[in-house]
Amino acid sequence: MENISLVAVAVGLLYLAALACIYRILLTYRTAQGAIAWIIGLLGLPYVAVPLFALFGRYRFGGYVRARRMGNRGLTNLLNRFERQTTSIAAPADQYFTDELQVLCKLGRQPFTEGNRCTLLRDGEATFEALFEAMENATRYILMEFYIVRSDRVGRRIKSILERKLAQGVEVCFLYDNIGSVGLSKTYLKQLTAAGARVAAFGAGNVRRRRFQINFRNHRKLLVCDGTIGFVGGINLGDEYLGTAMDQEPWRDTHCRIEGPAVTGLQLTWLEDWNWASDECPDLDWAPQNNTAGEDRVLMLPTGPADDWETCTLFFLNCINNARSRLWICSPYFVPDFQIMNALQLAALRGVDVRIMIPEKSDSKLIGLAAYSYLVQACKSGVGIYRYQPGFMHQKVILVDDRYAAVGTANLDNRSMRLNFEITAVTTAPHFINSVESMLEDDLDNCRLMTEHDYKDRSILFRLTCRAIRLLAPLL
């Protein structure tokens, strides 16, 4: 009888937990389909669904120190100082400062700045060369944040430079994502710490604040040197971007180098993440640099699950809905939700040249298969899906008409839209737009345009598999 009573209590507690989960779902759900799926699972298989919901059911990143949004005095003051640099900020009356650009400023809670110089870094070789040079020339501090850091040749070169700069008195703050960098050796981190670097893992923040949030990841890749030079884009710290990892073809990816006041926006984003991971605010020079590096207008757009809105989704929708003649998007992962797919179709139907570049060879077989299920929808409306042939294309680039271009870390999938912390650099600089156009034209020459027959002429088993995997899109 005692055992039966214990089992009854356990079952009762389990269903109470399931009801608590359902209560949370009803208060916070984004889509009716997702809510219904969770509720059915929680009522039918609570012993499976309750732990899964604890791990994967959250849609907001609780506890994140959102300095500019939560009123943290120190960080709010930093942003206010940034905004008060009126000579560096494009005024609303500026011809470049259209409604859609104002929307982006509101989404990221950062201003568009002028007086910058943007340089497109077309591949891993150019990116690492520029990263190494900037780090070698740093005299005050180096701020790093990468989703993936490896202990390979590139990683060892990075560590060697950092150790040398630390010996010269340069301050180093090294932030990594503990899920993305799960393979990074502890020895690597211990040696950096022993050399004097401040090291923090984004996913290893205060346990009480973190709770069950392992489904959220910091997908940002950025570097700031002395507050004057910054880098952002899709490239992590690994040999795969040079083609030297296990003799594989190099990953096709893109980064950009930025000088000027926009770098302050980049390092303010870094500071929020660092503050969350380490509970500290480095005593560094956070004032925007007054020197004019160039004439480029740049916005740093951070997005993530701690924001009040689905900022990354709204960013993509803003780009798609405002495109007039051309919309070229590169993303290694193409699993859009219905609103993004509908917006792409509408853009194509109103005459916009919509091209989506995805890889032929993917590092995720499931996502590669799911992408096939969108072909019929895309082709019927005139959306061109191009598969990049040589190697794995990992770049995240957007070109909207001849008006602005964006290089960053966000993909066209649910994870980037709702679960990952991302960052994107947006610029209206004509020379940068021309460079992006030229780069993408070269990439398109290495692509094949897909048709409905790439899906329709495959076996019924293949099509069913693609459609079934697409159902898992929110988890991919």
Question: Choosing from 165, 396, 413, 443, which is the catalytic residue?
Answer: 396
CA 206 to chain centre: 23
**Cβ neighbour number for residue 153 with a 10 Å cutoff:** 13
Q: Are 149 and 184 in contact (CB under 8 A)?
A: yes
Distance of alpha carbon 134 from alpha carbon 128, whole angstroms:
10
Distance of alpha carbon 9 from alpha carbon 453, whole angstroms:
56
Q: Tell me the sheet residues that pair with 173.
A: 143, 198
Residue 221 a catalytic site member = yes
Tokens 């699972």 belong to 41
Residue 396 a catalytic site member = yes
Distance of alpha carbon 256 from alpha carbon 131, whole angstroms:
10
Residue 380 a catalytic site member = no
Residue 159 a catalytic site member = no
Question: Choosing from 159, 165, 221, 255, which is the catalytic residue?
Answer: 221
Residue 165 a catalytic site member = no
Distance of alpha carbon 413 from alpha carbon 367, whole angstroms:
9
Distance of alpha carbon 448 from alpha carbon 33, whole angstroms:
34
Distance of alpha carbon 364 from alpha carbon 185, whole angstroms:
24
**Got the DSSP string for 382-441?**
T-EEEEE-SS-B---EEEETTTEEEEES--BSHIIIIIEEEEEEEE--HHHHHHHHHHHH
**Got the DSSP string for 49-90?**
HHHHHHHH---S-TT---HHHHT-HHHHHHHHHHHT-GGGB-
If 0-12 CB within 10 Å is exposed, 13-18 middle and 19+ buried, where does residue 48 land?
A: exposed
Question: Choosing from 159, 273, 394, 413, which is the catalytic residue?
Answer: 394
Question: Choosing from 401, 402, 431, 454, which is the catalytic residue?
Answer: 401
Question: Choosing from 123, 159, 165, 226, which is the catalytic residue?
Answer: 226
**Cβ neighbour number for residue 267 with a 10 Å cutoff:** 26
Which of 115, 101, 104, 84 has the alpha carbon at shortest distance from 297? 115
Phi, psi (5° rounding) for residue 342?
A: -65, -40
Residues with Cβ within 8 Å of 440's Cβ and at least 6 positions away in sequence, in order, are 328, 330, 357, 397, 399
Q: Tell me the sheet residues that pair with 301.
A: 424
Q: Are 50 and 17 in contact (CB under 8 A)?
A: yes
Residues with Cβ within 8 Å of 374's Cβ and at least 6 positions away in sequence, in order, are 334, 336, 341, 385, 470
Structure tokens at 176: 């990594």
Residue 255 a catalytic site member = no
Question: Choosing from 123, 165, 177, 219, which is the catalytic residue?
Answer: 219
Active-site amino acid positions: 219, 221, 226, 394, 396, 401
